[in-house]
A and B are shown apart, each in its own frame.
Chain A
Amino acid sequence: MKKSRPGVLLPFLALPLLCSAADPSGKIGGRVSVLGVWGGQELDVFNDMVKPFEQRTGVKVEFEGTRDLDAVLTTRVEAGNPPDLALLPNPGKMAELARQGKLVDLNGVIDVAKMKQAYAKSWLELGSVDGKLVGIFPKASLKGLVWYVPKNLKAAGITVPKSWDDLMAQSQALAKKGVAPWAIGIESGAASGWVGTDWLENIFLKTYGPTKYVAWYEGKLPWTSPEVKSVWQAWGRIVNDPKMAYGGSAYVLSTNFGQAFTPLFENPPQAYFHFQATFIQSFIQKQYPNLKPGADFDFFALPPEKPEFAKAAEIAGDLMGMFKKTPQSAALIEYMTSAEAQAYWVKAANGISPNRKVALGDYPDPLSRGAAQILTAADITVFDASDMMPSKMGTAFFSAVVNFISNPDQLDHILADLESVRKDAYAAK
């Protein structure tokens, strides 16, 4: 046997080197670390989503999941080893981090022109702090929807209300018949109360409009002002009336938001309306897999107090920012903004995409499609106010909701407490 001639192989060994030096296919290799709250099915979807990205670029995506995002992110940022990319708890926190100089300006990183085409202006504004784009929204949800079971409403002789007064009148009529019209549950572990904040925000938006709404979450409107107080009182007429809210305050406080809709689906129904964002759909479908979205359950937008605010929509979404600029993290965050990536969430019924280029056909059912259309067609969109407030204010807002349900007669006291937190929370550190 002739000995093999290693020399023959040498030119072939050089090929990979030649390839990576000026690789038109985009393979950059390396790794990127991502920190986020996604777990369970969300994490499965994310892993599926990044597979094509990993194959195309050769970048290994290392995801670290924690439900304790605040603690882990704060610790790592302060100690100097932040993740490359991270989900941010809310725009309020994003603004704080950006002002500390911890977030990378995405202007030099992603194709902003391309983003401007695919996203409505408000999404880019929401992700910007002091003119710099620092956050992008991988997925979103629509808030302020009232869910109902069409055949139950029909049987009770109710039509979809067009105004707030109409809604209240219908609710009271139902209450007189002996059935609680509303099913509400605000328990949510460490964040209990956010359901109530969604209520109050939407009532506020539909009564006083977006300008006052923005002033409110920017800390310019006192909590003790008549506008804010009237909104709490309006909600109080529903949630604090045991004839209006199923199970009374004990049920409202102790029922997890993901379970609170069950009275609607009992036979005979124990409640008729449930106020919740788009993501409750996957909860309903998990609990009642045989129900058809749209036919067996549907939603209408919370009717306005003032008709000019009828088309106003409150949105919320997951937010992602960059802490370390590397070729890998830049490539991944660009990918996360693309319609291709966001379609994964959409197809898995895991959220609505703010990217207009995601095909409506990707949405698995008429309900989510309808929500997506509202999102993209809404003329007034504002973000979830409690997410926009500084963390301290947002947390106080959640607790205030819990306290309000527990002690409804203490409203002035609760608002005064919120007011003192406002003075502290918005002050420059």
Chain B
Amino acid sequence: MELATLLWGLVAVVGVPLLLCGYVAATEKLLGLAPARRRNALRPWLWLAPGFVPLAVFLIYPALHTLLLSFLNATSTRFVGVANYAYIFSTRSMLTVLRNNILWLVVFTGVTVVLGLIIAVLTDRVGYEWVVKATIFVPMAISFVAAGVIWKFMYQYQPAGTAQVGTVNAALSALSSSFKPQAWLFNKAENNWALIAVGVWMWTGFAMVILSAALKGIDESLFEAARIEGANEIQIFFRIILPLMKPTVIVVTTTLVISVLKIFDIVYVMTNGSLDTDVIANQMYKEMFNYQNFGRASAIATLLLLAIVPVMALNIKRFGRRGATP
């Protein structure tokens, strides 16, 4: 019954926040019972608990379980040591897959963050800010399945000399008469870039929204002061805006870098990794669900988990700073 469903939803939306606030109030009361010096030591754990329990159950436990499975065979009944890892590195296609992931990592993240930043900063200066922002954001609101449909049509190929149906081929043909229509997704020289372009189109809105929120938080009086001193807009951007936005830029970049390691949907929907477009997460998907080899799938997933170690290493210094009130 729809009504019952709606009611349950209402209960959740109102009840859970109330529960959480009640929880914090209750823990404060409880802490009041503890000796004063223990209070500050215990409180952080109580505040972290509502977050950590779901994390532990839904993410940490499966990750550890996966690590364990990576040392077992396909049906998880026999210990096989590092056989799964050995297999992964012995397949010729692995190098291509790694190359693709690195391509996504560098190109996708770089372009998305830079574009997002530029748009956030530029739209701040114009009256039609919301129009531009909405245009850039809309792709994020489209589901992957629909995005797959759009871009298949964008990249469609018709032989040279016939009417083009694909937007990209048509536009480029209109711009230059010597342009030969390309089968973007099926040409090894072009397909990875075509897929990355789809990713950039979808995710720039993400970077833009977050960076814009940070930008709005910067005190405008800083700009005024700089302008009075004769600084031009470009100097203001590099000397005031960028340094102040650095923490947010790092958050956005780190999030995208880590998330793009497991890029899956775009590749799966558009090419399923054929013709050298495959990525790690797609290989893991195939091993797990198509071939049902849980040992190999888990080994691939573990490699993915390990891949973030360098990213974290680079970020450690940053996480270490900043004080706190006791």
Binding site for B on A (CB under 8 A): 70-71, 74-75, 96, 100, 187, 189-193, 246-248, 250-251, 253-255, 390-392, 395, 399, 402-403, 406, 417, 425, 429
CB-based contact B74/A429 at 8 Å: yes
Pick out which of these stretches binds chain A: B17-25, B185-193, B308-316.
B185-193
A residues near B271, Cβ cutoff 8 Å: 192
Tell me the B272-315 residues at the A interface (CB within 8 Å): 272, 274-275, 285-286, 288-293
CB-based contact B159/A74 at 8 Å: no
Nearest CB in chain B to that of A401: its residue: B274
Nearest CB in chain A to that of B188: its residue: A406
Q: Determine whether B321 belongs to the interface, using a CB cutoff of 8 Å to chain A.
A: no
Nearest CB in chain A to that of B187: its residue: A250
Contact of B291 among A189, A191, A392, A399 (CB under 8 A): A392
CB-based contact B157/A190 at 8 Å: no
Contact of A189 among B74, B188, B269, B289 (CB under 8 A): B269
B residues near A100, Cβ cutoff 8 Å: 75
CB-based contact B183/A402 at 8 Å: no
A residues near B157, Cβ cutoff 8 Å: 250-251, 254-255
Q: Determine whether B92 belongs to the interface, using a CB cutoff of 8 Å to chain A.
A: yes
Tell me the B76-123 residues at the A interface (CB within 8 Å): 92
B residues near A391, Cβ cutoff 8 Å: 290-292
Interface size on B, residues (CB 8 A): 30
CB-based contact A395/B186 at 8 Å: no
The complex places the Cα of A210 from the Cα of B203 at a distance, in Å, of 52
Q: Determine whether B73 belongs to the interface, using a CB cutoff of 8 Å to chain A.
A: yes
The complex places the Cα of A189 from the Cα of B186 at a distance, in Å, of 12
Contact of B183 among A192, A254, A425 (CB under 8 A): A254
Nearest CB in chain B to that of A403: its residue: B275
14 chain-A/chain-B pairs, Cβ below 8 angstroms:
A74-B288, A100-B75, A192-B272, A193-B274, A250-B157, A250-B182, A251-B157, A251-B159, A253-B183, A254-B186, A395-B291, A406-B275, A425-B291, A429-B293
CB-based contact B269/A250 at 8 Å: no
- A250 to chain B minimum Cβ distance, whole angstroms, is 4
CB-based contact B185/A402 at 8 Å: no
Q: Chain B, 262-275, contact with A by CB distance < 8 Å: what is the 0/1 string?
A: 00000011011011
Contact of A253 among B92, B186, B292 (CB under 8 A): B186
A residues near B291, Cβ cutoff 8 Å: 390-392, 395, 425
Contact of A395 among B74, B185, B188, B286 (CB under 8 A): B286
CB-based contact A96/B292 at 8 Å: yes
B residues near A403, Cβ cutoff 8 Å: 275
Tell me the B98-151 residues at the A interface (CB within 8 Å): none
A residues near B288, Cβ cutoff 8 Å: 74
Q: Determine whether B156 belongs to the interface, using a CB cutoff of 8 Å to chain A.
A: yes
* Given known A-B contacts A189-B272, A250-B157, A250-B183, A70 and B289 have beta carbons under 8 A apart: yes
CB-based contact A254/B185 at 8 Å: yes
Tell me the B162-203 residues at the A interface (CB within 8 Å): 181-183, 185-188
B residues near A251, Cβ cutoff 8 Å: 157-159, 183
The complex places the Cα of A96 from the Cα of B290 at a distance, in Å, of 11
* Given known A-B contacts A190-B268, A193-B274, A417-B92, A247 and B186 have beta carbons under 8 A apart: no
